Structure 1
Amino acid sequence: MNSFSLIEQKYLPELDTEAKIYEHKGTGAEILFLSNQDENKCFGIAFRTPPQDSTGVAHILEHTVLCGSEKYPVKDPFVQLLKGSLQTFLNAFTYPDKTCYPVASQNIQDFHNLVEVYLDAVFKPRITRDFFMQEGWHYHLEEIDQPLEYKGVVYNEMKGVYSSPESVLMEASQQSLFPNTTYGLDSGGKPEVIPQLTYEAFKEFHANFYHPSNACIVFYGDDPEEDRFRLLAEYLNAYSKIKPNSSVEVQKPFVEPIRVTLPYAVSESELNPTPMFTINWALPSPVKAETVFSFNLLDHILLGTPASPLRKALIESGLGEDLTGGGLETHLKQMCFCVGLKGVDKKQLEKAETLIFDTLQTLVTSGVSDQDIQAALNSFEFDLRENNSGGFPRGLALWLKSLNGWVYGADPLELIAFENPLQKLTQQAQQPGFFEAMLKTYFIENNHRSTVTLHPDPGLATETESAEKDRLANIKNEMSLPQLEKIQQQTAALLQLQEAPDSTEAIASLPLLNRKDLEPQIKTIHSQEQFHKEATILQHPLFTNGILYMDLGLNLNILDEDEIPYVSLLGNLYLEMGTKNTTYSELSQRIAITTGGIYGTPFISPHEEHADSIHHFFFRGKCMLSRVDDLLHLFKEILLHPTFDDSERFKQIVLEHKSDLESSIIPRGHSAVMTRLKATDHTAYTLNEKIGGIDALFFARDLLERIDTDWLKIHEKIETIHQKMISQNGVLINLTAEDPALKNLLPKVEQFVSTLPTCSNQPTQLHKQTYSTSEALIVPSRINFVGAAANLYEYDYQMHGSALVISRYLQTAWLWEKIRVQGGAYGGMCAFDQRAGTFTFASYRDPNLEDSIEIYQQTGQFLKELKLDEAELTRSLIGAIGQLDAYMLPDAKSFTNTKRQLLGYTDTKRQKLRDDVLSTTQQHFNQFGEILDAAFRNPRVAVLCDQESAVQAGLKTQTIVL
């Protein structure tokens, strides 16, 4: 405590949190304590790291500091923590001008362990040349007569990023606005520039920026303050104050708007590739809450709902398939706003650009509607007060929001203490002309803007790869034999380092919980179940801070097979086509004005007890308890009086859906191949492929082709689905709120159930579909996503909870070493599905293909020969228990418990799984290896890759995706 000065102390009632800002006396390090009753304790340390080029130095350093440190000299302390801690969050992020290292845990000792390892990592890392080569880039040459290659985890990661057109567009949009600042560069690294980074420049970057004087540090939660001081003092007290040169220049305003045109890669088989564009505006700095909040509201007004005037104008114009650009960005020194369209005919580009400006001018001239303002205010305030960060820890979400101003000199509390600025803004927003003046000043009359257009280039991917090969061939040709031999020796030395295990002493240096620290009993979630007519009503009495969460589940098991693909559209159809009593714009406004939002999501899974599947479609809504009547009325309006008559609106929804699916393919390639591979093993997973996989994309494309010529049949199909679904029979309602409120709610919910019709539709018998056992999903990507799967139940495997321990161990040991460290992929993963029996492997942004499949096939042998010491086994058990005990906010707790009840996954079964996990032995690993070895001799394979890679690998089926 003596090393720290208290600068500011304030209670934040809106967060029920005591905030204290400290300064470390010796270095000037800025520290924020946020103390409250949240058991999910969080720590984060961020450094201002503006790069001077696009070599990706900040990104590579983010990876490399987690490759061992002075106190913890293991090769991968990060993965050791993933493997053997109870962490609820563990990661690192590189932004355009800062690098962040956050951790979280519910266990106090585990939390302290995580903080110590991270502090040692950032301040005392082993950033050796070998780790620089591994994580960044290096010349790879195993034999003199082989072609020279580039390898490196970040290098391959960024090749994947630049394979996504949307990523290219967003990066180009940012760079176009700030060309003379650090934002005109790519902090992640451009693949063609990364090999220009030297080890010396890399080391210098760490020395310049990873210093307490350049840090923003946070502690959050219920951990004692004296422990926080103790942990920090050990590291900060070793430094003296410096003046780091880490400020970011402000871009000089443009005199005239600029235009940028770039190519993007499409498959050569693409019949009608189309351009995409954004118009981008530079905005003020995000250091004042009132400024940021006002632009948050304006962003919601323009784009936040289907009824938002700019969004509506662009979508209804028919000039493109879907919005692109993302709207408001607040994590730079100058905020920016980016909006545009993708799927635009090149002849219509000018018309689409004009439409954006015409729409904004109309809003200035005619005024923003009161309804749009109220919708924005309610949605924004609800989000602030709910403080729902999903699976991301609340404390880290607050820290990242704070950093948006903090790293540029703002008070750390400026953007998170929202009560006063929100009240001021609410008053300002009611004043006539407030938003119109913003639109005029920052959009209409703002010449600091750019238009970025990407044009499709079918040959770009091939040309880029050829250019890289030619560049490497030329480099090799210019090298002398001694130079080549040196590279060969460096390659061999790196491979040897990667394959060598850490010493027992190094592993022992890492802090580790004991088995006695693991809770033997499951955490139960209390619920009350009752029935009203044909409906089941679940109540979860949990503290929700005055919010009701309501999940309404409709039975899908009455749908025929040809109706299932439409399920992917249901949420949008019900919520974005309007009703018989209200237009879709009015409906969207009412939802935003009176609730915290409503959305739809399917839930389809095998049952625990029998071969059948559970098929439900959930509408998930939330509101303040004072608005329960409004939420129930909206549910009634949406479900009982929908209209699906507008074929043009339907086409717009399908276009947006198709575009979303296409945009997600390359960024989530691992998910696409895993969904595809599982589809063969169970009816439920066949349905998931048809609703959310590659098949869903094919269905959306086919549906678009048929709308104009076959609308009556399509409309009839949708009406039939609606009539089947909307019924009391099999409906499930889940309510989450404080106990007294639930009792008052129940009569209203029962009355709502009574308004639903009853019908006697019989469940249909759906069938699983067999997919190719060797399939390439063809996309224009410079990097691969490699998957393989087998059904272990076909090899007489009997489910045991040790499978969870083993899967996690494989992911954090075998696959990490073989796929990521040695193979250079961004990641490798595996999962066992205990209901269907599918064991699935997948890699992410992988430069390899056949080698990765071979590694999957070697996994069984690896497990058969594996010998684990007690510490390593304990580490594996801890990681598995951490996975079982994932931290959840109230809405997630209740929905998870609801799904468990649907599936028949009882607390008895959960306890049995936990007991299995805690009793796992090495013998379980070895026996599991026997099963894997047999199952993966001829696995099913699915790979997302380009045409050339598919041909070289001899994959039997080639399915063109993009």
Structure 2
Amino acid sequence: MRIVNEALTPFDVQPVSGTIALQPRFTAPVRSSGRVPAAAVDAQDGKGAVSIGWLLSDGKHTPEQRIGIRVLKEILVGSPASPLRKALLDSGLGEDLIDGAGWDEMRQPVFVTGLKGVSEANRDRIEPLVLDTLENLVRSGIDQAAADAAVNTIEFALRENGTWARGIGTILRSFETWLYDGDPIAALAFEQPLAAVQAGRGESRRYFEKMIEQYLLTNPHRSTIWHAPDAELLTRQEADEKARLAKIRSGLGDEELQRITAKSLELKHRQETPNSPEALAKLPMLRLGDLDRKNTVIPREVMTLEGRPVLLHGLSTNGIAYIDIGFDLQTLSGDELAYVPVLARALTELGTDNEDEVTFARRIAGHTGGIEPRAFSLTKTDAKSTAAWLVLRGKATVAKAAELIAIFRDLLLSARLDQRERLRRLVLEEKARLEANLVPMGSYYCGLRLKAGANESGFANEQLYGVSQLAFLRRLAAETETDWAAALARLTAIRSKLIMRSSAAASVTVDTNAGASLLAQIDRLLGSLPTGSYTPLAWQPLSRPRNEGLVVPTQVNYVAKGTGILDFAARPDGAALAVCRW
């Protein structure tokens, strides 16, 4: 604070209101359109997006209403079984859902949904579909199992309060009220308002149906926007900006131009001049002496069950069991890696031989905190060999951990892959999401592309998540239409090669006294997997030009350059990590 005070002392204090003003309410729904940058192929096909949004509050809502709104959003679009999500995706009018259900931290919460990849011919069909689906839910009623699953999902998330940095997570949650002059503790104390929601459900079985009527169907503050694709938009904007700057420059005299040039040179000089030792001494610095010389040791017990490695971590987890089931990706060839993200989602989202996708999704949401598939590849510390895994990460309360393991067993042994339309929809969703991420995450994709030519691990990650994955998804989307039998046969064969006991491993993190009972169930799960053997396959790094350029519709250029720093060291150490992070 002393440093900040010294920096601000030369400036005069200006009275500024810290209150965030309320958004004026609409008296009637509005419709509008706007043009958005798009790739030439999308503009040629006329594929844009339709978003429908509601302002849900006047800023005076209670904690019960805020949590109730969060549960309602989960019911409508939060899971593959959600009725509004299914209605939009199953309609075939677009490629992926517009996910605007997470904006609960605003003073006035909003709910936004819609579709991406919508042709102009279908743009006017999205809003009626959404409203008709909502009206049908009010008329026919929301399935109580769906409501129970949504409440469980939200309660689990609130109780867990994040897993990456709980202190920071607590601070961020307090901002939901604190930023708007409210009590920061009110956003953290969720048990009473959640209990009030449950009590409201007990008093009226139409609790959430009434919320749909109040917040969505009879709410005049609704906005529907057509986002029209335009391949020339960025070019026109750049030309307009150049013309505007040229006009400004033509109105400047020689003296003004010289003054601007001098200020620019002065700014450049100040930016390039190193700070003095006195100035640097004012900055708070973390020094080596401030750090513990020994890392915190995470307890780990390594054992073998059914011939496979299992790790047990006895930690305080607030009564939650975290269970990971992994499969070695080196059972697959380099060409087969691209199928893994689609297969991973199919295992958890397409249902099983005994349960359709809706029933299975509700079972997962109703008994667990979710199952998240994640594939990754890493280079080992010898700088040569590779570790690559598909991991299914699940969590549940200890009391329901047995049901989580049963769900793992069902999705691994009997997931339905033969559902053509649902699988094609899943592929289109993945494609649309990757396309949407190219511009805001350009540096990430450049990095993946560079590393793909360096080693096995880089090659695998680019196949799984990079530009190669996007090209694969486009081919697979077409193949599901033109040659479904071949696509299904390859996906089924890859599942058989990957999901087997000899390629499996497991990790359990739970309170120490709950570990023994879970290990017995993990043992039975591993024993139920198909038998088989494999020899780890080698992957060749991506062969590509030394210099490569990829074209995306953006005014920002992402440039990456890399080299293999580990070629100059016998073994990586902390210095190598510092260079990578710099």
Matched, 1:627 2:400: yes
Compute the displacement of 1:248 (Å): 3.5
Gap regions ≥5 residues in structure 1: 1-115, 129-202, 210-244, 812-962
Work out whether residues 530 and 538 of structure 1, in 8 Å CA contact, stay in contact via their aligned partners in 2. yes
Query: Matched residues in 2 for 1:755 and 1:269: separation?
Result: 47
Distance of aligned partners of 1:246 and 1:791 in 2 relative to their CA distance in 1, 3 Å threshold:
closer
Match of 2:83 in 1: 309
Match of 2:488 in 1: 715
Work out whether residues 287 and 410 of structure 1, in 8 Å CA contact, stay in contact via their aligned partners in 2. no
Distance of aligned partners of 1:514 and 1:682 in 2 relative to their CA distance in 1, 3 Å threshold:
closer
1:7-86 equivalences in 2 (<5 Å): none
Match of 1:756 in 2: 529
Compute the displacement of 1:124 (Å): 4.9
Matched, 1:374 2:148: yes
Gap regions ≥5 residues in structure 2: none
Query: Matched residues in 2 for 1:806 and 1:616: separation?
Result: 27
> Structure 2 length as normaliser, TM-score?
0.95
Superposed CA deviations along residues 388-421 of structure 1, whole A, max 9, x for unmatched, are 2x43x32332233222223334322222111211
Query: Matched residues in 2 for 1:806 and 1:249: separation?
Result: 45
Secondary structure of 2:224 counterpart: strand
Match of 1:125 in 2: 7
Query: Matched residues in 1 for 2:78 and 2:6: separation?
Result: 44
Query: Matched residues in 1 for 2:291 and 2:32: separation?
Result: 56
Distance of aligned partners of 1:507 and 1:627 in 2 relative to their CA distance in 1, 3 Å threshold:
same
Counterpart of 2:114 (choices 332, 340, 349) is 340
Query: Matched residues in 2 for 1:514 and 1:282: separation?
Result: 48
Distance of aligned partners of 1:310 and 1:794 in 2 relative to their CA distance in 1, 3 Å threshold:
same
Query: Matched residues in 1 for 2:263 and 2:433: separation?
Result: 44
Query: Matched residues in 2 for 1:321 and 1:768: separation?
Result: 32
Matched, 1:422 2:422: no
Query: Matched residues in 2 for 1:585 and 1:275: separation?
Result: 29
Query: Matched residues in 2 for 1:602 and 1:328: separation?
Result: 25
Query: Matched residues in 1 for 2:131 and 2:510: separation?
Result: 45
Match of 1:257 in 2: 29
Query: Matched residues in 1 for 2:286 and 2:459: separation?
Result: 41
Match of 2:170 in 1: 398
Match of 1:247 in 2: 19
1:427-576 equivalences in 2 (<5 Å): 427-430=199-202, 431-576=204-349
Query: Matched residues in 2 for 1:435 and 1:623: separation?
Result: 25
Query: Matched residues in 1 for 2:379 and 2:277: separation?
Result: 43
Match of 1:297 in 2: 71
Match of 1:353 in 2: 127
Compute the displacement of 1:287 (Å): 4.9
1:139-218 equivalences in 2 (<5 Å): 207-209=14-16
Superposed CA deviations along residues 668-713 of structure 1, whole A, max 9, x for unmatched, are 1111001100110102211111110011011101111111111101
Query: Matched residues in 2 for 1:482 and 1:594: separation?
Result: 73
Compute the displacement of 1:761 (Å): 3.0
Work out whether residues 402 and 518 of structure 2, in 8 Å CA contact, stay in contact via their aligned partners in 1. no
Compute the displacement of 1:663 (Å): 1.1
Compute the displacement of 1:518 (Å): 2.4
**Amino acid of the structure 2 residue aligned with 1:368:** I
Query: Matched residues in 2 for 1:401 and 1:442: separation?
Result: 23
Compute the displacement of 1:272 (Å): 2.0
Query: Matched residues in 2 for 1:759 and 1:330: separation?
Result: 48
Superposed CA deviations along residues 628-655 of structure 1, whole A, max 9, x for unmatched, are 1110110010001111111100100000
**Amino acid of the structure 2 residue aligned with 1:377:** V
Query: Matched residues in 2 for 1:207 and 1:324: separation?
Result: 41
Distance of aligned partners of 1:124 and 1:308 in 2 relative to their CA distance in 1, 3 Å threshold:
farther
Query: Matched residues in 2 for 1:666 and 1:551: separation?
Result: 32
Match of 1:742 in 2: 515
1:636-647 equivalences in 2 (<5 Å): 636-647=409-420
Work out whether residues 46 and 120 of structure 2, in 8 Å CA contact, stay in contact via their aligned partners in 1. no
Match of 1:267 in 2: 39
Compute the displacement of 1:793 (Å): 4.6
Work out whether residues 645 and 715 of structure 1, in 8 Å CA contact, stay in contact via their aligned partners in 2. yes
Superposed CA deviations along residues 515-545 of structure 1, whole A, max 9, x for unmatched, are 3322222322220111112311110000001
Match of 2:478 in 1: 705
Query: Matched residues in 1 for 2:309 and 2:232: separation?
Result: 56
Q: Which moved more, 1:742-751 or 1:357-366?
A: 742-751
Work out whether residues 176 and 184 of structure 2, in 8 Å CA contact, stay in contact via their aligned partners in 1. no
Superposed CA deviations along residues 181-228 of structure 1, whole A, max 9, x for unmatched, are xxxxxxxxxxxxxxxxxxxxxx78x7334xxxxxxxxxxxxxxxxxxx
Query: Matched residues in 1 for 2:298 and 2:102: separation?
Result: 38
Secondary structure of 2:131 counterpart: helix
| Greater relative CO, 1 or 2 (CA 8 Å, sep 6+) | 2
How many positions carry a matched residue from both structures? 579
> Structure 1 length as normaliser, TM-score?
0.58
Superposed CA deviations along residues 570-593 of structure 1, whole A, max 9, x for unmatched, are 221101111111001111100000
Query: Matched residues in 2 for 1:436 and 1:727: separation?
Result: 45
Matched, 1:803 2:571: no
Work out whether residues 50 and 126 of structure 2, in 8 Å CA contact, stay in contact via their aligned partners in 1. no
Compute the displacement of 1:447 (Å): 1.1
